[in-house]
Homo-oligomer: A and B are copies of this chain.
Amino acid sequence: MKRILYFLICMLSIISFSHIEKNINVYSKAMKKNIPVTVVLPDDYNENNKYSTIYALHGWSGSNRNYVEKVSIGKLADMYGVIYVCPDGGYDSWYVDSEINKKSKYETFVAKELVDYIENNYFTYKDYKQRAITGLSMGGFGAFYVSINNPKTFGAIGSMSGGFDIEYFKLNWGITKYIDSNFEKYNIKDLATKLIFCGSKIIFDCGTSDFFIEANRELHNKLVKLNVPHDYIEREGSHSWVYWANSIKYQTLFFVNNFESNKK
Task: Give A contacts to B, CB under 8 Å.
Answer: 2-3, 5-6, 9, 12-13, 16-17, 44, 46, 168-169, 171-172, 190-191, 193-194, 196, 208-211, 213-214, 220, 224-236, 238, 246, 249-250, 253, 257
Contacts and interface: CB of A to CB of B under 8 A. Distances in A.
Nearest to A236: B229
Contact of A193 (B171, B238, B246): B171
A196 B172 contact: yes
A172 B246 CA distance: 31
A227 B211 contact: yes
Contacts of A3: 46
A211 B195 CA distance: 11
A257 B253 contact: no
A227 to B, nearest CB: 5
A236 to B, nearest CB: 4
Contacts of A16: 2, 5
A194 B17 CA distance: 46
B211 A226 contact: yes
Contact of A246 (B209, B238, B249, B257): B257
Nearest to A169: B193
Contacts of A211: 193, 196, 226-228
A76 B144 CA distance: 31
Residue of A191, A194, A234 with highest tally of chain B CB at under 10 A: A234
Nearest to A2: B16
